[in-house]
Structure 1
């Protein structure tokens, strides 16, 4: 089950966003040991002040399984402004038709259960939700900063994307910038791999409408 939250309505969805920020702290700080900004039991950064759109995957019982954040590249974004070395010497990506996905994370209890397929379900829901939102919004590409481990997972999900530049060692992580073309063929392929037949996002929703809410 997908939940979409606009940063502009953060106060209205404060409880759900608190769940996301606590999950990010458990994943990026506690589990992966990244150098991220932690306050008490949450991980939050200045990009969360830039009116992002959050995509959440929940279990049928309502438990948060995973989340990610979307921002337009015309404004502040991690690839251009924090990790430009991953552009491989190419110009900054600044386009109304290109959005960035960041802070992709899965609940650690799920990700460490090797006998479960919950990681695949959660990750597929997140990626397909982004695909549906992107198509409804006229987005041409989604870019992200990720590590080579998640890059392999994306390939297994049927959405390999293209490297923007060569991988670079950032801290303890071998990071890479990835770009996906947003289209029906990619969405159909991801849904087929994950055995998702239903639409995940209200077709009336678009990224522009969400940020203007």
Structure 2
């Protein structure tokens, strides 16, 4: 399932964002060996300060299994500020109707071990559909994305081939990079859905996810409170202290004592 996090709801889903940054660190630094900035096990760069939209994929246990970042091209973005060599001296693309997709990744380790409920290929396609459907709903007409030849082949195999490329394919460290263009059309979305047999709505409503997150955390909180009350009750030296423990217990939700 897909969640979109932006400036309006990032405070509500801060824990998911944090897990997403950790996934990016594992993928881009640990697995792929990119020269990215890692702070406390999290990959965060200056473009995360530009109020991007994040398309985040979650499994049934609400673990982050994939993500991508969407950023307006009217301001700073990676193609114009980091990968400008691809443009070969041409001015960067800038349009309110064209956004840049970067930091696309899926959690191979979790999916390889069957913990995500999807294969890597299916998860990749679901994330692609999430990007395209969110973009189309937001009025975005085109996506520009910097990719390597491997990702280019993945796009083509999943019936999501770019309709054009910007600039040239150039060397970027140990790999080559190119800028691909994808229109956010209903036809493209249908092709990728058909390729991966994706049906129905893949986006989870925010209120439903918030309830699921609360239900997931509640048992942990209950256990912690239980342990606290047990310690307080066993260490009480008189009836007054025991009564105070019972009163606090009732005020915090009537967690039963043993």
| TM-score normalised by L of structure 1 | 0.88
Summarize deviations over 1:55-98 as a string: whole Å, max 9, x none. 11112232221100001101111011111111244321110000
Decide whether aligned partners of structure 1 residues 137 and 11 sit closer, same or farther in structure 2, where only a CA change above 3 A counts: closer
The structure where helix makes up a greater share of residues is 2
**Structure index of larger Rg:** 2
SS of structure 2 residue aligned to 1:155? helix
* Structure 2 equivalent of residue 173 of structure 1: 175
SS of structure 1 residue aligned to 2:167? coil
The answer to whether the aligner puts 1:34 opposite 2:40 as a matched pair is no
CA distance in 2, matches of 1:143, 1:196: 24
CA distance in 2, matches of 1:110, 1:157: 21
CA distance in 1, matches of 2:71, 2:25: 20
State how many pairs are aligned.
Answer: 202
* Structure 1 equivalent of residue 165 of structure 2: 163
Counterparts of 1:62-141 in structure 2, within 5 Å, are 62-110=62-110, 118-141=119-142
Greater Cα shift, 89-98 or 194-203: 194-203
Displacement of 1:199: 2.5
Q: Is the 8 A contact 1:88 1:164 kept in 2?
A: no
| TM-score normalised by L of structure 2 | 0.73
CA distance in 2, matches of 1:10, 1:45: 17
Displacement of 1:108: 2.9
CA distance in 1, matches of 2:14, 2:183: 32
Structure 1: which 5+ residue stretches go unaligned?
204-213
Greater Cα shift, 131-140 or 151-160: 131-140
Bigger relative contact order, structure 1 or 2 (CA pairs below 8 A, ≥6 apart): 1
Structure 2: which 5+ residue stretches go unaligned?
206-258
CA distance in 1, matches of 2:193, 2:156: 13
SS of structure 1 residue aligned to 2:75? coil
CA distance in 2, matches of 1:159, 1:50: 27
Displacement of 1:200: 2.3
* Structure 2 equivalent of residue 151 of structure 1: 152
Summarize deviations over 1:135-166 as a string: whole Å, max 9, x none. 21221110111111111111111111022122
The answer to whether the aligner puts 1:14 opposite 2:14 as a matched pair is yes
Q: Following superposition, which runs of at least 4 residues in structure 1 exceed 6 angstroms of deviation? A: none
Q: Is the 8 A contact 1:163 1:178 kept in 2?
A: yes
